[in-house]
Amino acid sequence: MKDVAIKVENLSKRYRIGLKEETKDTLFGVLGSILESSFQNLKRLKKLTSFNENKNESDDIIWALKDISFEVKKGEVLGIIGPNGAGKSTLLKIIAQITYPTSGMVKLDGRVASLLEVGTGFHPELTGRENIYLNGTILGMTKKEIDQKFDEIVDFSDIEKFIDTPVKRYSSGMGVRLGFSVAAHLDPEILLIDEVLAVGDLEFQQKCLQKIDDIGANGRTVIFVSHNIRSISALSNKCLLIENGKIIKNGSTNIVTEYYLNKNQQQLNHYFDNLLSNPVERSGNGKARISKIMLLESVDNDVVHFNEKFSIQIEFIVSPGINVLRYYFIVNFKTKSDKIIFKCDSRTYFNGYHSKGRNNGKIILEIQQFPLTPGEYILDFFMKEDGRRIDAIKDQFIILVVNRTNKGLNSSNSNYHFYVKNKWIMI
């Protein structure tokens, strides 16, 4: 274990969850429930602190982690990816000794620091200066260490002008800046980071990534959990994919992230194909319906690459009895916060298309250099006629954008165009 910083062996963690209570439909049933309530409450209290080993798989027990085993060598940067609820944060909390495992063990060789909840311990009534000392102390730094690093912390956070202002007057972004700055200037042998870049502007995120990269370059061991595949690819040399509390894939970052992106995108495409056949919610006059949306082969491995070619095909079906349909398409690209940041309108190239009695058709949106920076984006699709909505699909189609070269971001103004397949002829 001389060269191993973290060794996790057969680690498992279970929790008890609440279940929906049964409701009675009759008066006698309600009266019976009232009489039984005291006994039921006592039974629930006992269950909160004990597990029946003969009934581990009952409905009120969930395994956040199940038989997790891996090693991280000294000086290695390990990325951990996976869907929400996979058990990533639980794993880090166990390694950080915030919570204890149900079974298994974790062996650590070195001082551990964690960036799990950036800004935890900040007091809103205290100034930024006072909170640096308070938060630094909570994270394990001595006053002498904070004194030595105080100027670096303030400089990194870029809030020197407001350092003597109460934190309650800070914006959420300023609070994150200060919290990360304090935590990033710890000096541990092992650093645990859990999705600290989920907030903050792009410039600050890049600054944080550079700081984490510097920490790894100095020979310290880092475990980095993130949904940002670009960040994982840029910072880590090894990666774990966790799903449903189990390790699905373990290996080099390139292999694991490519597997995850392909698997995730294929699942989304399959889900979306099924959704369109029996959609949850549609709007429009019903003259036609979008029947299928798919990324084309020009998208390498079903992953969208920043600043490269992007093509998406939209298929539709015209309702019976509609002889001539004059239509156009609008595709909106937006963030998870529902902010539209890029819009493509087929009228830029043609005023409208005619179905000419056909009952189906295809149209392709092609972007020569995809302009959106790495991350997740939601696409909304609108089919319209003379300003009236024919059909709309919103908040269902998600794309993952990555940076193939990792050469940084730029603000390329990409041109796009729509065309109907087979040389502008309806099929």
Superfamily the domain 4-12+64-260 falls into: P-loop containing nucleotide triphosphate hydrolases (3.40.50.300)
Question: What local confidence, expressed as pLDDT, does residue 424 receive?
Answer: 32
Residue from 315, 314, 320 nearest 358 by CA: 320
Question: What local confidence, expressed as pLDDT, does residue 148 receive?
Answer: 92
Please give the average per-residue pLDDT across 95-104, as a whole number. Answer: 89
Please give the average per-residue pLDDT across 1-10, as a whole number. Answer: 86
Average pLDDT of the chain, as a whole number: 77
Instruction: Please state which of the ranges 161-170, 204-213, 306-315 shows the lowest mean pLDDT.
Output: 204-213
Q: Per-residue confidence at 303, pLDDT binned at 50, 70, 90?
A: low
Q: Per-residue confidence at 246, pLDDT binned at 50, 70, 90?
A: very high
Q: Per-residue confidence at 423, pLDDT binned at 50, 70, 90?
A: very low
Question: What local confidence, expressed as pLDDT, does residue 248 receive?
Answer: 92
Q: Which two tokens stand for residue 216?
A: 């790894």
Asked whether the predicted pLDDT for residue 426 surpasses 50, the reply is: no
Stretch(es) of the chain classified as CATH 2.70.50.60: 279-420
Q: Angle 18-22-28 (CA atoms, 0-180°, nearest 5)? A: 145
Please give the average per-residue pLDDT across 388-417, as a whole number. Answer: 68
**How far are the Cα atoms of 242, 262, 265, 373, 409 from residue 304, in angstroms, in the given order?**
23, 11, 10, 10, 15
Q: Return left, alpha or beta for 94; rule: phi > 0 is left, psi -120 to 50 is alpha, else beta.
A: alpha
Q: Tell me how far apart the alpha carbons of residues 87 and 361 are, in angstroms, rounded to a whole number.
A: 44
Unique residue bearing structure tokens 């830029």:
348
Residue 299 vs residue 204, higher pLDDT: 204
Residue 384 vs residue 422, higher pLDDT: 384
Asked whether the predicted pLDDT for residue 356 surpasses 60, the reply is: yes
Unique residue bearing structure tokens 């004194």:
147
Q: Per-residue confidence at 298, pLDDT binned at 50, 70, 90?
A: very low
Question: What local confidence, expressed as pLDDT, does residue 25 receive?
Answer: 59
Burial class of residue 70 in the structure, from the number of CB atoms within 10 Å of its CB (0-12 exposed, 13-18 middle, 19+ buried)? middle
Question: What local confidence, expressed as pLDDT, does residue 408 receive?
Answer: 40
Question: What local confidence, expressed as pLDDT, does residue 119 receive?
Answer: 61
Stretch(es) of the chain classified as CATH 3.40.50.300: 4-12+64-260
Q: Which two tokens stand for residue 92?
A: 């880090």
Unique residue bearing structure tokens 């639980």:
90
Q: Tell me how far apart the alpha carbons of residues 314 and 394 are, in angstroms, rounded to a whole number.
A: 14
Q: Does 2.60.40.2890 match the CATH number of domain 279-420?
A: no
Question: What local confidence, expressed as pLDDT, does residue 68 receive?
Answer: 92
Q: Tell me how far apart the alpha carbons of residues 329 and 346 are, in angstroms, rounded to a whole number.
A: 5
Q: Which residues pair with 292 in a beta bridge?
A: 315
Q: Per-residue confidence at 51, pLDDT binned at 50, 70, 90?
A: low
φ/ψ of 299, rounded to 5, equals: -90, 115
φ/ψ of 315, rounded to 5, equals: -105, 150
Q: Per-residue confidence at 12, pLDDT binned at 50, 70, 90?
A: very high
Q: Angle 322-328-334 (CA atoms, 0-180°, nearest 5)? A: 130
